[in-house]
Amino acid sequence: MTAVEETPAGTAEPVGHGRMLRKEDPRLVRGRGRFVDDVQLQGMLHLAILRAPMAHARIVSIDTAAAEAHPKVKAVVTGEALAEKGLAWMPTLSNDVQAVLATDKVRFQGQEVAFVVAEDHYSARDALELIDVEYDMLDPVVDARRALEPGSPVVRDDLDGKDDNHVFDWETGDRAATDAVFERADVVVSEDLVYPRVHPAPMETCGAVADFDSVEGRLTLWSTTQAPHAHRTLYAMVAGLPEHKIRVVAPDIGGGFGNKVPIYPGYVCAIVASLVVGRPVKWMEDRSENLVSTGFARDYIMRGEIAATRDGRILGIRTNVLADHGAFNAQAAPSKYPAGFFGVFTGSYDIEAAHAEVTAVYTNKAPGGVAYACSFRITEAVYLVERIVDCLAHELEMDPVALRSKNLIRPEQFPYTTRTGWVYDSGDYEPTLREALRISGYDELRKEQEERRARGELMGIGVSFFTEAVGAGPRKNMDILGLGMADGCELRVHPTGKAVVRLSVQTQGQGHETTFAQIVAEEIGIPPQDIDVLHGDTDNTPFGLGTYGSRSTPVSGAAAALVARKVRDKARIIASGMLEANVTDLEWTKGAFAVKGDPDRSVTIQEIALRAHGAGDLPDGIEGGLEAQVCYNPENLTYPHGAYVCVVDVDPDTAQVSVRRFVAVDDCGTRINPMIIEGQVHGGLADGVGMALMEMIPFDEEGNCLGGSFMDYLLPTALEVPDWETGHTVTPSPHHPIGAKGVGESATVGSPPAVVNAVVDALKPFGVRHADMPLTPSRVWDAMRGRATPS
């Protein structure tokens, strides 16, 4: 990256796409961001939640008398009290219900049991200790593999007639056709792969400030949400408040990574508390509460099988998955996709047949699923296919790059319909792979590896190639709880030629205030510095489903480009009046309309804006003002892809893995701000190294969560990651107005298999073909000694 290409925020160039420092940073780096916890309201009270200390127990009684007697306590609320108002249970994003506060039993360690509202945060916390709950211990179901055994404790006996822990069965692809190609294949390779339970762990935990105005009947909720509009609709449905009387504000958000998609009991408790006490109430969870109780990710136990010819032509892939959904099915995914977009598990390869079946179960663990930069379970899908392809390379004694290269979908096959029915919009895979090999110096690396191996050193090279499906989604087949996944966008150009664009999506660090200004700038020629981006306030932005599944650029970004074009169309008509020329005789150059063949006769967008709002006549039928609104319903998802190469060294004496190099070549179509894209990729690669080597939320046999703090749940730091080496190719999306595809999750999705493939490659001298994440020294040590670590 050269400094010359960068433009400091505040200068007039460049207009439109290109490297530009983030407009949000002056505020954030000066400590002037405003996060939920910064909201201070007159008379505000503080809420703290009492959580279950065990995974599974019946509640016998709750004595709140001592807590209520605490001088600073204003209210103590239990599940029973909520039940009287019909608020003890709330719907989840997956059409299940989840307890706001437990009434009958607690179903996971950390579950919400009661809350206290007090004058300050510390008193609220102190008073929790004064609540006396009598529990009757029950056996928990902790291992998903035992959840369906007869006699297993039933987690969800609250559901009518439920006598097992089954959540759903889902399948995709053609079983018979797949079995047939497996029958005739020369080689079949199977492997059991566990994608462990991990956590998005955003820097800012979840929280809310609820302020109910009983005179106006209006609720204002500041909350850590990635989807303010969708949350508002759900609150209206749950609490029975009229939707126009609810305002959800998401101010600055300190990272989301999917963690802030669901509605958590804490938000609902804050709302109830404000309704009951008649004062504003703040709830902010601490780090342990966040790790123990909020949306986890992954927890997929997969069996992968791949069939191929002896010379490395992949014929089919099939897989069988056991998904641990925890105590409530609260995962976020479009309604018709109970396993998210796992259906893209055939990856980037042109194969003959594929089949997958997924069974989901309840266990006594925190609910969630999907979250953590996952593109709706594509993380699991990509890990499966990229690991199993490496296992095949191992069996065939073939170079993993050569094997991939031989099977990649070819450019002329796009749009490509996969064997499970996904239509990849565009792609040109081979150049992306070649670019990654070029940057990494792949052939040289293999030579070096040979030399090192001869000296007894353990160097590994891992490759992954991924295709993602992002930008949910076309209304015809995608919704969340019945809400179509479209996004609105509104653009107002002021008389002086400055503009405000209002989005339905919600940045949590992705830089929307910058890139969306750039998208609009590119279309109407107003410099991005002159365009403010408003988002995160349902009173001031059009409806839309929010930010997750890397959908902002594919959906809302398209809306931003189209709304700008709509304004430009109107500007053209006004310009024709100003220039006394026919609209068809006008030419658009960035920022101005000129008469064709007479470039001196031109008007800038700023001049047009002034005329649009000013005195004097406008062309017939044209109303004043320069504003527009659109709602964009995507035609298809966008399918970014990438090729990654990871180089690791494993210490033969300690089994410690160190990531020496990581090369990432991403293709997200048209690039709006390359610097922000690189930032997104850097962050995602760190996620990937973290998951591959250190992150996991484990449980003991009693269901105690063993990953409840950053002492136990390890996140990668600058010490564990290398200097990232990034590159790119550009294959525009044919259906997106500016050809852009999403990129926010690409690196998190694509990098874990590259790291694991590298570690397994390093262990080749020991005959290792697979080892499960996270590849901690003890697991690598076990793998070197031919022992499986239970996972």
Among residues 64 and 550, whose Cβ is nearest to ligand MCN? 550
Among residues 208 and 762, whose Cβ is nearest to ligand MCN? 208
Asked if 372 is part of the footprint of ligand CUM (rule: CB under 6 A), the reply reads yes
Kindly indicate which of the ranges 252-260, 571-579, 632-640, 767-775 contains the residues binding ligand CUM, using the contact rule CB under 6 A.
252-260
Residue 553 partner contact from ligand MCN, ligand CUM, none using kind-dependent CB cut-offs of 5 to 8 Å: ligand MCN
3-class SS shares of the chain: helix, strand, coil, % to 5? 30, 25, 45
Residue 726 partner contact from ligand MCN, ligand CUM, none using kind-dependent CB cut-offs of 5 to 8 Å: none
Among residues 370 and 783, whose Cβ is nearest to ligand CUM? 370
Question: Which phi and psi angles does 567 have, rounded to 5°?
Answer: -65, -40
Give CA separation, 634 vs 557, 560, 566, 784, in Å.
11, 13, 17, 49
DSSP letter at 764 equals G
Asked if 637 is part of the footprint of ligand CUM (rule: CB under 6 A), the reply reads no
* In the complex, minimum distance from the CB of residue 9 to ligand MCN, in angstroms, rounded to a whole number: 14
Asked if 369 is part of the footprint of ligand MCN (rule: CB under 6 A), the reply reads no
Among residues 140 and 367, whose Cβ is nearest to ligand MCN? 367
Q: Considering only residues 553, 602, 729, 751, which one is a binding residue for ligand MCN as defined by CB under 6 A?
A: 553
513: closest CA among 524, 528, 526, 525?
Answer: 528
* In the complex, minimum distance from the CB of residue 740 to ligand MCN, in angstroms, rounded to a whole number: 4
Task: Name the amino acid, one letter, at 732.
Answer: P
Q: Alpha-carbon distance 437 to 459, whole Å?
A: 17
Asked if 258 is part of the footprint of ligand CUM (rule: CB under 6 A), the reply reads yes
* In the complex, minimum distance from the CB of residue 363 to ligand CUM, in angstroms, rounded to a whole number: 20
Asked if 549 is part of the footprint of ligand CUM (rule: CB under 6 A), the reply reads yes
Q: Considering only residues 73, 269, 332, 373, which one is a binding residue for ligand MCN as defined by CB under 6 A?
A: 373
Residue 370 partner contact from ligand CUM, ligand MCN, none using kind-dependent CB cut-offs of 5 to 8 Å: ligand CUM
Asked if 420 is part of the footprint of ligand MCN (rule: CB under 6 A), the reply reads no
Asked if 365 is part of the footprint of ligand MCN (rule: CB under 6 A), the reply reads no
Question: Which phi and psi angles does 402 have, rounded to 5°?
Answer: -60, -40
* In the complex, minimum distance from the CB of residue 554 to ligand MCN, in angstroms, rounded to a whole number: 6
* Secondary structure (DSSP) of 294-308: S-BEEEEEEEEEEEE
* In the complex, minimum distance from the CB of residue 271 to ligand MCN, in angstroms, rounded to a whole number: 24
Asked if 742 is part of the footprint of ligand MCN (rule: CB under 6 A), the reply reads yes
Task: Name the amino acid, one letter, at 404.
Answer: R
Place of tokens 């008379």: 43
Helices (H), 531-673: 558-579, 605-613
* Secondary structure (DSSP) of 62-97: EE-HHHHHSTTEEEEEEHHHHHHTT-SEEE-TTS-E
Tell me the site size for ligand CUM, rule CB under 6 A.
13
Place of tokens 């005789």: 585
> Is residue 257 within 8 Å of residue 691, measured between CB atoms?
no
Residue 669 partner contact from ligand CUM, ligand MCN, none using kind-dependent CB cut-offs of 5 to 8 Å: ligand MCN
> Is residue 15 within 8 Å of residue 591, measured between CB atoms?
yes
Asked if 548 is part of the footprint of ligand CUM (rule: CB under 6 A), the reply reads yes
Q: Alpha-carbon distance 365 to 325, whole Å?
A: 8
Q: Alpha-carbon distance 496 to 183, whole Å?
A: 71
Asked if 284 is part of the footprint of ligand MCN (rule: CB under 6 A), the reply reads no
Asked if 385 is part of the footprint of ligand CUM (rule: CB under 6 A), the reply reads no
Among residues 108 and 466, whose Cβ is nearest to ligand MCN? 466
Kindly indicate which of the ranges 97-105, 385-393, 588-596, 668-676 contains the residues binding ligand MCN, using the contact rule CB under 6 A.
668-676
Among residues 225 and 432, whose Cβ is nearest to ligand CUM? 225
Residue 527 partner contact from ligand MCN, ligand CUM, none using kind-dependent CB cut-offs of 5 to 8 Å: none
> Is residue 751 within 8 Å of residue 684, measured between CB atoms?
yes
* Segment 673 to 732, residues that bind ligand CUM, using CB under 6 A: none
Helix (H/G/I), strand (E/B), else coil: 46: strand
Give me 638's structure tokens: 């966008």
The HSE-up count of residue 5 (CA atoms within 13 Å, CB side) is 9
* Segment 675 to 704, residues that bind ligand MCN, using CB under 6 A: 676-677, 680, 683
Residue 261 partner contact from ligand CUM, ligand MCN, none using kind-dependent CB cut-offs of 5 to 8 Å: ligand CUM
> Is residue 372 within 8 Å of residue 379, measured between CB atoms?
yes
- Dihedral angle sign, alpha carbons of residues 539, 540, 545, 548: negative
Binding-site string for ligand CUM from residue 223 to residue 242, where x marks contact by CB under 6 A and - marks none: ---x----------------
Paired with 322 in beta bridges are 301, 359
* Segment 723 to 762, residues that bind ligand CUM, using CB under 6 A: 745
User: What is the length of the chain?
Assistant: 791
Asked if 383 is part of the footprint of ligand CUM (rule: CB under 6 A), the reply reads no
What phi-psi label fits residue 260: left (phi over 0), alpha (psi between -120 and 50 degrees) or beta? alpha
Instruction: Report the interface residues with ligand MCN, using CB under 6 A.
Output: 202, 255-258, 373, 508-512, 515, 547-553, 668-673, 676-677, 680, 683, 740-745
Instruction: Report the interface residues with ligand CUM, using CB under 6 A.
Output: 226, 256-258, 261, 370-374, 548-549, 745
